[in-house]
Structure 1
Amino acid sequence: MEFEPVLSTVAKTIQTAIAPVFLLAGIGAILNVMVGRLARIVDRARDLEKLHPSSTGPEHARHVFELRLLDRRIRIINNAVFLVVLSAVANCTVVAMLFIAELLDLGLGKAVAISFVLSMVLLIGGLVWFLFEVRLSVHAIRVRAELLERERT
């Protein structure tokens, strides 16, 4: 006779899996923001790469400085995206293990808890990298004094 899970058991497992699934939706939103920032950084780098060969003097130095900064920001945001995607994978593993444990009557409670904690640690790591990138971008935004045309008193 084949094993057929009781509908109430499946419903209970779905209820248990709701929190990680909602977390997965939140992680997706975070990834959307991160990838959007990455795209803007890459676009700016490509624009500067076009200007780089024809620039000279102080303008060239500013382009090189900004390109180096953009390269660093790309690496940082890439690390953030990587960790957040790993968090999503760990979170998906939690959901899968919940169903597998219920369907096969396995005692995976400890493994589920470890996967969930791992998901949270990876998410925290990704958010910390994201914070570094945001702080770096804010510190890098400087309007040159000669463009401000300050009033003289």
Structure 2
Amino acid sequence: MSPFPGILPDEPIDSVAHLIQTALTPIFMLSGIGTLLNLFNTRLARVSDHIEKSNDALATTKAPTERRHLRQHIRHLHRRTLLLDASILLAAVGGAATCGAAFVLFLGSLRDSSVASWLVVMFGMALICTVGALAAFLCDSLAAWHGLRMTTSWARSTHPKD
């Protein structure tokens, strides 16, 4: 007998717990994707600021080796912006797919119909896009690390310790 007659059906606790888990999964995933989007956008803003400073430095410097290094550094930063753009695009599509999965869950509960295939497609697409966004962000992180090593080695070669 249900503790709330007429409100909650007489269902085992496992099926109710499963329903709650299913309903909350897209919400937690969307929250995580939102956090990733914030991180990616912040990182892109920092790289864009660095490009602007490097372009300003390129406009004022006359030394050919330093100009060549600055041009190479700007090209490297542009490649990083492409990786971050890909991260943002994939995360946004993953977020949209997560919203789609939540919407399919909602429609399924309203219509009491079988929407399992749509749910699998939408949630699967959300997961794939989120993994792709993280992979592109990892590539940007590796590119940043490589750029830092290149800049450090260039600085050591042009400004040796006395």
Distance apart, 1:7 and its partner CA: 6.1
Question: Which letter does structure 2 place at the counterpart of 1:47?
Answer: K
Other-structure match for 2:121: 114
Tell me which amino acid in the other structure corresponds to 2:33.
I
Q: Which residues in structure 2 correspond to 1:2-151 (within 5 Å)? A: 8=8, 16-56=22-62, 57-141=64-148, 142-143=151-152, 144-145=155-156, 146-147=158-159, 149=161
SS in 1 for 2:39: helix
Which secondary structure does the structure 2 equivalent of 1:47 belong to? helix
- What root-mean-square deviation, in Å, do the aligned CA atoms of Structure 1 and Structure 2 show? 1.9
Total equivalences in the alignment: 143
Separation of aligned partners in 1, 2:83 and 2:104: 32
RCO (CA 8 Å, sep 6+): is it higher in 1 or 2?
A: 1
Shift of 1:106: 2.1
Displacement of 1:101 in angstroms is 1.1
Q: 1:148 to 1:137 in 2, by over 3 A?
A: farther
Equivalent position of 2:12 in the other structure: none
Measure how far apart 1:15 and its partner are: 5.1
Shift in CA distance, 8/75, structure 1 to aligned 2, threshold 3 Å: farther
Q: Which moved more, 1:102-111 or 1:77-86?
A: 102-111
Deviations 1:34-68 (A, max 9, x none): 11110100000111122222222111111101110
Corresponding letter in the other structure for 2:41: V
Secondary structure of the residue aligned to 1:107 is: coil
User: How far 1:148 moved relative to its partner?
Assistant: 5.6
- Any unmatched runs of 5+ in structure 2? 1-5, 10-15
